[in-house]
Chain A
Amino acid sequence: MAEIEKIITRCLNGDQEGFEALYTQFASGIYRLCYSLLLHRQDAEDVTQETFVYAFKNMQRYDARRASFKTWLYTIAISRCRNQYRRKHPLLMDIAQLLHFDVPGPKSETPEGSLAEQNAKDAVETALASLSPRLREAVVLRYGHGLTYREIADVMDCPQKTAESRVRLAHEALRGLLQPVGVGLLDELLSG
């Protein structure tokens, strides 16, 4: 039996340390997913918390034959994020806003360098925010969390071909949004 299955069995037997082990293992990933989709720290924390509470209270519903525990958690998190989209204002931003980002300078240890890095991160966040929620989910799951198209389809509850086309469309949209900003933008981000 896999390690994660053993922990889940412990949780089902009421072992509180099992829940903590699962939280320690997945909290960071779930928070990053929620933040990438909601682009708001407090909302991401709230949704992360809701996701774990729901998952831990409904642990008996998890079926290891259908999906991995990670995929199951991601499905819950995506569902909670969608609820959050409905409650909040849409995240779509004006594309023109992107064009006013400063092109980062060369990487350095100076405050200017870290500021440029922060600008680059902000540019990616803003580009993500300009995508529709479905495209953002697809590209974040693919490039942010390394899920396969099959897993993305499971998490997003859509056919695999749809997941694939969403990743492709999101990819094209991001290229269109980020490339005009400057050649050094992603280089700066990645070298940081």
Chain B
Amino acid sequence: MWNLNCHYCQAHLQAYIDGELSPKARRRVSQHLDRCPTCYNAYSQRRDFSRELQQAIPLVGQGGTPHFKQMWGAIQAELPQPQPRLYQARYGLVLLAFALMLIVPFTMGHRKISLTPPSPPAPELLAKYETPDVTEPVMIATIAASITVESEQKSATQLPTVPEPRHQESLRGMDGNTN
């Protein structure tokens, strides 16, 4: 007699055959199959047909000889190709530039190129080119006065009409000369 358990069993029969039921559900279906000949008969037929399908369906498509090599060729053509190694060319350019830096001075004037750093100047030369101490005010005034006199002489001979600049007057005052 068809009952709720039969309904439950039929609904889960395929999953039971495929081994996809939870242990609890599996136990329930199994217990029902032991008691119900109708459901067991359905189970038996379905199980046999499932086995047949498991063997029959994988054979579909196996008879022909697909062009796997040709397909692979087409796939390869569409694959992203690995980038060429540009760094080798880059290193080549750097080497070329370095070689030019060495060769060009030889070709222009045949001058020797010294790769050693220049030697430091002798102590006497250092003393000669040492800058004088001009921080004292008296020295500054003397130098300023001499510059003023020279500039006045030049301006008197070359540009008599141009007025004297103010700072020269102040310098004159410092010197005590009232020309």
Contacts and interface: CB of A to CB of B under 8 A. Distances in A.
Interface of A: 14, 16, 19-20, 23, 27-28, 31-32, 34-36, 39, 41, 44-45, 48-49, 52-53, 56-57, 118, 121, 124-125, 128, 139-140, 142-146, 148-149, 164, 167-168, 171, 174-175, 179, 186, 189-190
B64 interface: yes
Contact of B49 (A128, A149, A175): A175
Contact of A27 (B13, B63, B68, B78): B68
A149 B72 CA distance: 31
Interface residues of B, number: 34
B52 A186 contact: yes
Given A23-B72, A31-B66, A121 B59 contact: yes
A190 B80 CA distance: 43
Interface stretch (B14-22, B122-130, B152-160, B168-176): B14-22
A36 B72 CA distance: 21
Given A52-B75, A190-B52, A44 B57 contact: no
DSSP class of B's interface residues: helix, strand, loop or mixed? helix
Contacts of B56: 124, 143, 186, 189-190
Nearest to A54: B78
A53 B60 contact: no
Contact of B79 (A19, A31, A118): A19
Interface string B70-90: 011011101110100000000
A164 B20 contact: yes
A149 B12 CA distance: 13
Contacts of A23: 72, 75
Contacts of A175: 45-46, 49
A164 B15 CA distance: 7
A68 B40 CA distance: 36
